[in-house]
Amino acid sequence: MSTITTELTNKTVLDRYFRLPVTGQKCQAMYVWIDGTGENLRSKTRTLNFVPKKPRELPIWNFDGSSTGQAEGSNSDVYLHPVAIYRDPFRLGNNKLILCETYKYNKKPTETNNRWHCKEVMQKAESHHPWFGMEQEYTLLDVDNHPLGWPKNGYPGPQGPYHCAVGAGKVYGRDIIEAHYKACLYTGIEIAGTNAETMPAQWEYQVGTCEGIVMGDDLWMSRYLLHHVAEDFGVVVSLDPKPVLGDWNGAGLHCNFSTEEMRKENGYEAIEAGISKLSKQHVQHLKHYAPHEGKDNEKRLIGTHETSRMYNFSSGVADRGVSIRIPRMVEQEKKGYFEDRRPASNADPYKVTEVLVKTICLDEN
């Protein structure tokens, strides 16, 4: 059986068609949504006769939910409700990427639509002005699911020279990282930075600071861009929290969090109070920090490789082996934020940010 690969397509030829002018106000709107796995993204495109500026201007659309794990074949229509608009870095021009929530035939959100409830929580806590910055770790794989650049019949040298490294033999896939970074900037996503991670072929980028629901929106769309960019290079992106077993770092979605009270002078007391609340809800939070009630995060949270132990809550200053890290600068200035290091790389940012706000700002379990 023949296999279609990216080598059989010519991006230079494709660019010729992308440069064709489109007259009037027509634009292509690519609707993007989270599928029934709660981890993967889907998309499809429609033509609009206007250039949208706000989500409410866009038409509600639908798709075959029986093909995405979100409906039965006998009642398969699932509805796409636009919630955020981004510039399209692939088609350029007036074209847009549209982030959508998914709703069933009875107008109730699908099981993997966690945004609607997160937004309600953020609106309740609006006076606290919750800020987030999330660190998305991921691994690049060849199409055979082998880590990019690794020997096919062995392993690279042990960890040590790869973190924030430069040079052939130390970093793999930098072209993808640079393309993704620029694409995020173009769309308007609040991308803050990027770096090579501790395991070779593993990378991280940071999104934020974002307030409220924008954190989840930007993080999900940044994931869509990452998969799309990697596709252009014929590379696979893995958000598996422990992609390689053994003496290798896992991958997380560390969440930096603060409230207005924490950011004010002498906000350190509010930081300590927030951490105390988290300590009492540790197991409950773990259920929200990876898909399927926290599944697979136990492979990563083992107390080594810069992680805490799964069911032992801990905190400390400048310590990357704890559940909650307080940066050294925050401890010195007595105000700022803390870093929750527990979420897995494939966690839903809507669920992570929601449960933090419920516990710390709203005193809800």
Which of 85, 112, 139 is the C-terminal boundary of a domain?
A: 112
- The answer to whether the beta carbons of residues 226 and 331 sit under 8 Å apart is no
- Low-confidence winner among 12-21, 37-46, 56-65 (lowest mean pLDDT): 12-21
Q: What is the pLDDT of residues 94-118, one digit of tens each?
A: 999 999 999 999 999 999 999 999 9
How far is Cα 251 from Cα 243, in angstroms, rounded to an integer?
8
Residues 102 and 216 in one domain: no
Residues 105 and 126 in one domain: no
Residues 98 and 155 in one domain: no
Q: Residues 83-104: what's their mean pLDDT?
A: 97
Is residue 15 predicted with pLDDT exceeding 90?
Answer: no
Residues 217 and 319 in one domain: yes
Residue 188 within a domain: yes
Residue 80 within a domain: yes
Q: What is the pLDDT of residues 226-263, one digit of tens each?
A: 999 999 999 999 999 999 998 999 999 999 999 999 99
Residues 58 and 151 in one domain: no
Residue 365 within a domain: no
Residue 143 within a domain: yes
Residues 141 and 64 in one domain: no
Domain count, the chain: 2
How far is Cα 1 from Cα 108, in angstroms, rounded to an integer?
43
Percent of all residues in the chain with a pLDDT value above 70, rounded to a whole number: 98
Residue 340 within a domain: yes
- The answer to whether the beta carbons of residues 164 and 195 sit under 8 Å apart is yes
Q: What is the pLDDT of residues 159-206, one digit of tens each?
A: 999 999 999 999 999 999 999 999 999 999 999 999 999 999 999 999
- The answer to whether the beta carbons of residues 80 and 95 sit under 8 Å apart is no
Residue 328: give its domain's CATH number: 3.30.590.10
Residue 1 within a domain: no
How far is Cα 53 from Cα 36, in angstroms, rounded to an integer?
29
Per-residue pLDDT, 2: 38
How far is Cα 291 from Cα 286, in angstroms, rounded to an integer?
10
Residues 17 and 102 in one domain: yes
Per-residue pLDDT, 3: 43
Which of 112, 143, 169 is the C-terminal boundary of a domain?
A: 112
Residue 221 within a domain: yes
Through-space distance between the first and last CA atoms of the chain, rounded to whole angstroms: 53
Is residue 5 predicted with pLDDT exceeding 90?
Answer: no
Which of 66, 93, 112 is the C-terminal boundary of a domain?
A: 112
Residue 284 within a domain: yes
List, as one string, the DSSP characters of 103-115: E-TTSPBPTT--H
Residue 265 domain boundaries: 122-360
